[in-house]
Amino acid sequence: MKIEFAASARKLQGKGASRRLRNDGRVPGILYGGDTPAQSIELDHKELFQHMRKEAFHASILTMNLDGKPEPVLLRDVQMHPWKARIAHVDFQRVSADRKIHMKVPLHFVNVETSPGVKAGGVLSHVANELEVTCLPGDLPEFIIVDCSSLTLGHSIHLADLQFPKGVESPTLRRGGNPVIATLQVPKAHVEEAAAAAAEGAAAEGATPAAAAPAAAAGKKDEKKEEKKG
């Protein structure tokens, strides 16, 4: 998915200038990276806010039309207003086609409902929803697929179980790590119900001898009375 947006060079600096920009519906930002010095920029808040709602905007190579000149960039940081739905500042990084980038991409969980564990009443718990990858800009995926089709109750999917697109690597795996990505658990309510049923069964079994004792004692008393009469 190709995403383009417009930006302009920002000449005025300082808190006062940034405040005036925001009051005019603009967002101050910075563009850095590559062999070019960092540059202050400004963007239209409405356009940027709409793009921010797209998952791909946070994990894709974007095309910034800076004063009409297209430039490939990555979104690196967004600062929001403390209590308003307003973007306060944004950072972008230039990218080069021949230089690897480090990026967090979202995880998409598929075949959840058809997995044996879910069919047996289990619930999938997401331990991670995004993953750091290393690759060339042209190989950057919009997301990584997590296939849950064979997941059974009580089992987990680890990082090493994932299939990475060609040219995409995981720094965590390279360092020897293999964290859990998702696990299929029995719902807490089911566990509590099973425990309660087991407790009731144990209580019922334990009550049988106690309930039978008075009846047995009464039977012996009746026998003694009959003997005296005889």
Q: CA–CA separation, 8 vs 66, rounded Å?
A: 5
Q: Are the C-beta atoms of 109 and 124 separated by less than 8 Å? A: yes
Q: Is the pLDDT of residue 196 over 90?
A: no
User: How many Cβ atoms are within 10 Å of 121's Cβ, its own excluded?
Assistant: 10
User: How, if at all, do strands 101-110 and 144-147 pair?
Assistant: parallel
DSSP label at 150? T
User: How, if at all, do strands 87-94 and 26-32 pair?
Assistant: parallel
DSSP label at 115? S
pLDDT at 144: 97
pLDDT at 2: 87
Task: Using alpha carbons, select from 121, 182, 128 the residue that is nearest to residue 157.
Answer: 182
DSSP 156-174: EEEGGGSPPPTT-B-HHHH
pLDDT at 12: 76
pLDDT at 213: 47
Q: CA–CA separation, 77 vs 93, rounded Å?
A: 9
Task: Using alpha carbons, select from 142, 2, 34 the residue that is nearest to residue 98.
Answer: 34
Q: Are the C-beta atoms of 42 and 29 separated by less than 8 Å? A: yes
Residues 6+ apart with CB under 8 A from 150: 115, 116
Q: CA–CA separation, 41 vs 89, rounded Å?
A: 10
Q: Is the pLDDT of residue 126 over 50?
A: yes
**What's the pLDDT tens digit per position in 25-74?**
999 999 999 888 999 999 999 999 999 999 999 999 999 999 999 999 99
Please state, in angstroms and as integers, the Cα–Cα distance from residue 44 to each residue in 39, 72, 93, 213, following that order: 17, 18, 18, 86
**What's the pLDDT tens digit per position in 69-100?**
999 999 999 999 999 999 999 999 999 999 99
